């Protein structure tokens, strides 16, 4: 791709590795509450599966700034009903000049060429311009993924600590993946298998659910620059791993609970509560003052647990869908 038009202040071209710093700047200005780093983005690029179909485009301005970014690809981290994924971002200082519209037109057809029946994207619910843009280009809302935060400085665990006695009486113990990894030969694969079995029951909008290969899961969970096996907590009954909560402490921004879940046969026994409380103690010891979580509206149990613990609702992420025009 190499499109030029002297009447516009930008032209479209393919994404290059040297665009990453400008991309990170645009992300951090657009979403200052969830910043990223160049190192994290470079790792994401290096770990993106080479066999996943992907179309990308950027908008480069006449001043040399790459300020618009779009990509369309097969969402390899979940099982989807014939859907592709689209991401589009324009630097806040370069908006309302037509770049978003042209970037969308450059990458959106790729999904239909690959045989997708629908195209998914998301956007913050308080970004009203983004919501209006999605609606104007044929996308309709199919769900929302809540974001919430817990103030660890004011959180009082006393009303909930009975969960520890309850699980202990039922024969459960809590540990870290770091400890288990030191004594269990196939610990990495066992953690993946546990995660995979639990995540089947974690619903996404549109009938999707999380699912990825062991290699990709490992790249994100164990080999990432922000991976910390001390921040991965397990619930055990004997030697069987039955529940987990995975916490991330990024180099910038707020600590984040990536996943909390329990195997079906062990639910309703207080394990999720105990795992959450255990992770809060850990985060406080690490000097963290806040922890965030994302939870889909289609997952009432974890939403109810977080509400009980006192999480405060923040603007969520709207899930948008566009149907393949040829299938209507």
pLDDT at res. 5: 52
Q: The sheet that has 66-73: what strands, in order across it?
A: 10-13, 54-61, 66-73, 83-90, 118-124, 312-323, 140-151, 290-296, 255-262, 240-248, 232-237, 172-176
Q: Which helix (H) or strand (E) holds 225?
A: none
Q: Decide if domain 148-316 falls under CATH 3.30.70.260.
A: no
Token look-up 């994100």 returns 220
Is 117 a residue whose pLDDT tops 80?
A: yes
Mean pLDDT of all residues in 224-235 = 96
How large is the average pLDDT for residues 300-305? Answer: 83
Q: 103: helix, coil or strand?
A: helix
Write down the pLDDT at residue 301: 79
Mean pLDDT of all residues in 230-236: 98
| Tokens 């520890």 found at | 164
Euclidean distance between CA atoms 153 and 155, whole angstroms? 6
Instruction: Please state the φ and ψ torsions of residue 90, each to the nearest 5 degrees.
Output: -120, 135
Q: Please return the burial class of 77, using the count of CB atoms within 10 Å of its CB with bins 0-12, 13-18 and 19+.
A: middle
Provide the whole-model pTM: 0.91
| Res. 210: pLDDT tops 90 | no
Average pLDDT on 104-118 reads: 98
- Alpha-carbon gap, residue 285 to 328, rounded angstroms: 55
CATH entry 1.20.950.20 includes domain 10-116: no
Tell whether the model's pLDDT for residue 4 goes beyond 90.
no
Of 227, 233, 217, nearest to 251 (Cα)? 227
Classify 253 in phi/psi space as left (phi over 0), alpha (psi -120 to 50) or beta.
Answer: left
Kindly list the domain boundaries of the chain, sorted by start residue. Answer: 10-116, 148-316
């Amino acid at each position: 791709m190499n499109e030029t038009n002297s009447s516009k202040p930008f032209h479209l071209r393919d994404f290059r590795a040297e665009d990453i710093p400008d991309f990170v700047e645009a992300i951090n200005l657009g979403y200052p509450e969830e910043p990223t780093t160049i190192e994290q983005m470079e790792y994401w690029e290096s770990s993106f599966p080479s066999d996943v179909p992907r179309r990308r485009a950027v908008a480069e301005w006449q001043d040399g700034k790459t300020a618009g970014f779009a990509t369309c690809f097969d969402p390899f981290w979940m099982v989807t009903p014939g859907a592709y994924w689209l991401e589009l971002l324009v630097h806040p200082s370069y908006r309302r000049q037509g770049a978003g519209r042209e970037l969308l037109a450059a990458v959106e057809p790729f999904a239909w060429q690959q045989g997708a029946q629908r195209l998914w994207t998301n956007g913050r619910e308080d970004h009203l311009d983004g919501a209006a843009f999605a609606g104007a280009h044929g996308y309709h809302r199919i769900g929302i993924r809540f974001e919430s935060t817990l103030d660890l400085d004011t959180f009082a665990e006393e009303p909930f600590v009975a969960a520890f006695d309850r699980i202990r009486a039922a024969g459960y113990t809590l540990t870290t993946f770091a400890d288990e990894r030191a004594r269990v030969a196939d610990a990495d694969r066992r953690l993946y298998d546990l995660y995979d079995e639990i995540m089947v029951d974690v619903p996404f909008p549109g009938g999707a659910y999380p699912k990825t290969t062991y290699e990709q899961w490992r790249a994100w969970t164990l080999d990432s620059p922000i991976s910390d096996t001390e921040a991965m907590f397990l619930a055990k009954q004997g030697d069987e791993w039955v529940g987990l909560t995975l916490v991330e402490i990024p180099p910038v921004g707020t600590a984040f609970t990536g996943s909390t879940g329990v195997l079906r046969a062990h639910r309703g026994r207080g394990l999720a509560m105990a795992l959450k409380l255990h992770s809060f103690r850990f985060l406080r010891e690490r000097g963290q003052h806040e922890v965030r979580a994302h939870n889909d509206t289609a997952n009432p149990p974890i939403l109810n647990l977080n509400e009980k613990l006192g999480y405060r609702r923040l603007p969520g992420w709207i899930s948008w869908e566009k149907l393949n025009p040829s299938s209507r």
